Structure 1
Amino acid sequence: MIRKLPSGRWQVDLRTDGRGSKRIRKSFDSKSEAKRFETFVLAKRAEGREWNPSKADNRTLKQLIKLWFNAKGVHLKDGERRKRCLDAMAEFMGNPIARTVTPASFLAYRAHKIQKGASKKTLNNHLGYLNAVYNQLNRLNEIEFDNPIRNVEMIRLDERELSWLTVEQIRHLLKTIEDFSQNPHVHLLTRICLATGARWGEAENLQLRHVQEGKLTFVNTKSGRSRSVPVSKELFGEIRKHLKTHDCFSFSLSAFRRALEKSEIKLPLGQAAHVLRHTFASHFMMNGGDLLVLQRVLGHSNIQMTMRYAHLAESHLEQAVRFQPSV
């Protein structure tokens, strides 16, 4: 393939023997020069000779991980954590030459982690991290070989049970927190999450400057985009007063978990404070809320995430009766 670069030069980009074979890229001042080079390389291929064979890339996996981190990972919110995870993968595999990594070597790592109790979701993330290293460096022309684990499939995940609290459970949980928790923040944080659908960490990050004009503005969100959600006048005033007194919210998730356990409310494994977000969304839809508005309030980048709550809409339930088979 011949293409014009932003610099105005013409680049030949081809593989000598199809996908997975040696990749050749070379730039020229004119399209005609690029065309002559392409013809020359293809002719040499027909003769069974390789054009300008380059020295094998013997950089280790850790070296590529460091290269990826400097180019991309350093700009990610969780870049340091990803690099530690990638380095641990490389250590398990014996830090091989990066181009020699095989699907079997990653699958051995994955089997080991499963035996250690790692979740399927976590291991899918690990596969995504390693794919990103190869794919990103390939796009940047830092490596000339293909991603060697590109054909490894993600583990299929069962849809997680979506749990939410009833009005009675909400009242019981808040009363339990009020009666038993010594933490000065956890009761208000719980109500903020229930009133806005915020993640627990987003609520904890609120500062006085984020509480303005009847709205709470959540920053440092999972998507990286801030969002503002209005709250009742009473809750707004209480939050302002609390933050003027305490300056900020402290880490209170452990206090919430202790109160939740004390309440004896049973939730699916792995769910704790996130049930507050599900509860807001579920009641929002059951009370006639609009799905697109819910998407904006929750900060979902993909409507498919919000669609999990669609079945709770009153109109959805009415249609189940209206359109059922006649018997």
Structure 2
Amino acid sequence: MIVKGASGWDADFWLDRTAGIRKRKKGFRTKAEAERWVSELKRDYSMRGRDPGERLSDLVKVWHELHGCTLKDPYRLPRTMAVVQGLGDPIASELTALDFSRYRAERLKTCTASTVNHEHRYLKSVFNELIRLGVWHQGNPVGSLRQLKVDEVELTYLSLEECRLVLDECAASMNSHTLPVAKLCLATGARWDEAESITRANLSNGQVRFVRTKNGKSRSVPIPPELERLILERGYPGAGRLFSSCRGAFRKAYERTELNTPGQLTHILRHTFASHYMMRGGSLIALQRILGHGDIKMTMRYSHLAPDHFATALMLSPLALLESAGSLRQDWDAAGTVPETKKG
């Protein structure tokens, strides 16, 4: 707190309340001078025990050692380091929101706003986590920066005929695991990695249990007996994983179909399951549980495909009422009758 005292401006503030460190000084000639003193003390204290010339890349390495290595995304570190290099690997304490804003403006010339928002979240989470761990004692330089607005992308899905085409190409693949994994994704809406990593222990009573999922929550989804038999026949024997990695084989099989679904190859079967499920009258809440979405907002992307979605608009719009009134008038004219009107 900075207040006007009898002999000038006085500063009195907690440098670190948890450690019981409080600083006081009186007699500053101006308020700006008192504010500079407070600011310098805070900056020096925040950098205690750290190299004042520490680069952003060094800070990211510390984050990865303490937290990033526990994340399931194996590409998080290289992607974050790519952002650091794009920023010129500045001294961490000198990075500002303006620096990232300029970097973002340049990136938008070559990539989408969605990609830039991801990069913003990567860097923001680094500082947030290090602050929580007590490693970084300054503020988050990109914490107050707002994300760019992104138009909602329409999710592409396959028709039944296109599904048959994709499965036929998977059946022709040299990798015998491609077909059962693709069918499992199409039958349950599972992510490719989830379906690819199941074990025999995950199959029981006509259900497949997906574990080690994206949000860490396990879920069980029923499958048809024919698919269960195919999975057990094609899968490896033993208690380990049933399938080897076949994402590349699926990519080649999909390319042979010459179907055009830009940017959605790894999730196309998941989107197809969810879309057809809703079009056939499935429950949005049930779909959330089947897909394993932690937030219903993710599942809401498929709500417009439901048969009754906004169906009342057909009956309750002004145009519908006008046309209904016109139809009644034609019926009255044809019958030679005139409806009675109220007087008063």
TM-score, normalised via structure 1 length: 0.78
Contact 1:214–1:232 (8 Å) recurs in 2? yes
SS in 1 for 2:182: helix
Structure 2 vs 1, CA of residues 244 and 94 (structure 1 numbering), >3 Å: closer, same or farther?
closer
Residue aligning to 1:65: 60
Give the Å deviation of 1:194: 1.0
Q: Distance in 1 between matches of 2:80 and 2:236?
A: 42
Q: Which residue of 2 aligns with 1:7?
A: none
Q: How far apart in 1 are the matches of 2:228 and 2:293?
A: 24
The 10-residue stretch of structure 1 (152-161 or 245-254) with the greater mean CA deviation from structure 2: 245-254
What is the aligned-residue RMSD (CA, Å)? Answer: 3.1
Q: Give the match for residue 246 of structure 2.
A: 252
**Aligned: 1:144 with 2:141:** no
Equivalent position of 2:193 in the other structure: 201
Distance 2:95 2:277 in 1: 48
Secondary structure of the 2:90 match is coil
The 1-side partners of 2:93 and 2:231 are apart by: 55
Paired residues of 1:282 and 1:312 also in contact (CA < 8 A): yes
2:210 is equivalent to residue 218 of structure 1: yes
Whether the 8 Å contact between 2:170 and 2:182 is mirrored in structure 1 is no
After superposition, give the CA deviation of every residue in 1:213-260 in whole Å (9 maximum; x if it has no partner).
211111232212221111112212221222255963222223223332
The one-letter code of the counterpart of 1:215 is Q
**Matched ranges for 1:228-307 at <5 A:** 228-244=220-236, 248-267=242-261, 269-307=262-300
CA distance in 2, matches of 1:51, 1:263: 63
Letter in 1 for 2:273: F
Deviations 1:24-66 (A, max 9, x none): 21446xxxxx6xx76x648688893549933673133233223
Q: 2:15 aligns with which of 24, 27, 31?
A: 24
Contact 2:195 2:210 in 1 (8 A): yes
Asked whether the equivalents of residues 97 and 141 of structure 2 are also in contact (C-alpha less than 8 Å), the reply is yes
Matched to 1:183, the amino acid is N
2:149 paired residue number:
156
Distance 1:316 1:239, change over 3 A: same
Name the CA distance, whole Å, in 2 between partners of 1:73 and 1:182: 37
Find the counterpart in structure 1 of residue 6 from structure 2. Answer: none
Taking a change above 3 Å as real, the CA distance of residues 26 and 316 of structure 1, as seen in their structure-2 partners, is closer
Which amino acid counterpart does residue 69 of structure 1 have in structure 2?
H
Counterparts of 1:306 and 1:51, CA distance in 2 = 47
What is the distance in 2 between the residues matched to 1:296 and 1:266?
A: 29
Structure 2 letter corresponding to 1:70: E
* Residues 211 and 240, structure 1, Cα contact 8 Å, conserved in 2: no
- Say if 1:295 and 1:306, in contact at 8 Å, map to a contact too: yes
d(CA) in 2 for partners of 1:322, 1:289: 23
Q: Distance in 1 between matches of 2:264 and 2:164?
A: 19
AA aligned to 2:158 is: L
Which residue identity lines up with residue 145 of structure 1 in the other structure? Q
Amino acid in structure 2 at the alignment position of 1:107:
S
Q: 1:286 to 1:114 in 2, by over 3 A?
A: same
Partner Cα distance (1:207, 1:128) in 2: 34
Consecutive unaligned residues of structure 1, counting only runs of 5 or more, are 2-15, 29-33
Match among 302, 307, 323 for residue 316 of structure 2: 323
Which of residues 278, 282, 307 is equivalent to 1:314? 307
Question: CA–CA distance in 2 between the matches of 1:23 and 1:94?
Answer: 35
**Gaps in structure 2 of 5+ consecutive residues:** 2-10, 323-344
Deviation at residue 304 of structure 1 after TM alignment = 0.5
Structure 2-normalised TM-score?
Answer: 0.75
Which residue of the other structure, out of 71, 76, 93, is the alignment partner of 1:76? 71
Name the SS for the 1:144 alignment partner.
coil
Q: Name 1:189's counterpart in structure 2.
A: 181
| Preserved CA contact (<8 Å) 1:101 1:148 | yes
Q: How many equivalent pairs are there?
A: 297
The answer (yes or no) to whether the contact 2:189–2:273 under 8 Å persists in 1 is yes
One-letter amino acid matched to 2:16: R
Contact kept, 8 Å, 1:208 with 1:244, in 2: the verdict is no
Tell me which moved more, 145-154 or 102-111: 102-111
Q: Could you list the per-position Cα deviations for residues 79-119 of structure 1 after superposition, in whole angstroms to 9, with x for gaps in the alignment?
A: x633333333333434322121122322343344444x444
CA 146–316 in structure 1, closer or farther in 2 if over 3 Å, else same:
same
